[in-house]
Amino acid sequence: MTAKIISGTEIAAQIREELKTEVAMLKANNNIQPGLVTVLVGKNPASVSYVTAKGRTAHELGFYSIQDDQPETIAQDDLLKLIKNYNEDPRIHGILVQLPLPVHINENKVLYAIDPDKDVDGFHPVNVGKLMIGEGRFYPCTPYGIQQMLIRSGVNTDGAEVVVVGRSNIVGKPIGMMLIQKAKDANATVTFCHTRTKDIKAHTLRADVLIVAAGKPNAITADMVKEGCVVIDVGVNRIGVTPEGKAKLAGDVDFAAVKEKASMITPVPGGVGPMTITMLMLNTVRAAKIAAGIAVD
């Protein structure tokens, strides 16, 4: 068996086309233009790259988009005032503060200052709590992307054994909570594994769907995966440099070996990564509709 490749690049492109149509209809029929602001503090090269990509995507979809660059020396109180202004700006439906922030700024205070109705990253405690009780409005973008990949690849999670390797607040915990809900495209039996799990292999061998966000190259090898499992590799690890001078990337799964046992698998790059920005855009459109009183699913 050689696994079918789940292409995040292709699925993200499909969703963006759908969003482009929806944004055009919101403008034409409701005079609504989704608005997104990305706040960048400092000039961390990775953060600059991410924020630029987010702004470019927002522009392509027809959003009202602002990239607000602030110096690394900005005081925490000044950053909080900036967020307050965007909370009160009716043109802005989504606020994203790019992490990490400088060490003198308390990240939680900043994230918690964002209006939960504009928290399109899905990290505010109000939105995390709503996710927990099955009333989620804005799901964290990477887990949301994973769920969409499963749905659009025809993977049925109803009653499935899902094993999540990793327990971060950004990926592991939320995707587990999303898939365990008594809801359509969920209803899974979820097991979490982490660095203190005594025998990870014993758990991963039971998985119908294996989601790996361990942060370690080749953490999952072929002997840890049962035949026919669906494997979602969230990891992005720099393992060297290509002859062209570009970063050489690998996931958390031994792709070459595992793809011979899995029924479906995501590549790295081109798997989960492209979905994250797309789901941010989907959340922003959703926020614009909620703000206008338009019913959402």
And the tokens for 57? 């995507």
98, 147, 148, 181: the active-site residue: 98
117, 119, 121, 208: the active-site residue: 121
Beta strands in 72-128 (DSSP E): 94-97
For residue 247, list its beta bridge partners. Answer: 241
Active site residue 98: yes
Active site residue 89: no
φ and ψ at residue 201, rounded to 5 degrees = -60, -40
Which strand (E) or helix (H) includes residue 241?
Answer: strand 237-241
Measured CA distances, 116 to 4, 8, 119, 128, 133 (Å): 38, 28, 5, 10, 16
Q: Would you say the C-alpha torsion 284, 288, 293, 294 has a positive or negative sign?
A: negative
54, 118, 173, 289: the active-site residue: 54
Residue 209 buriedness (CB in 10 A; 0-12 / 13-18 / 19+): buried
Closest by CA position to 271, among listed 213, 188, 228, 204: 213
For residue 231, list its beta bridge partners. Answer: 210, 265
81: which residues sit within 8 A by CB, 6+ positions away? none
Active site residue 121: yes
Residues carrying an active site annotation: 54, 98, 121
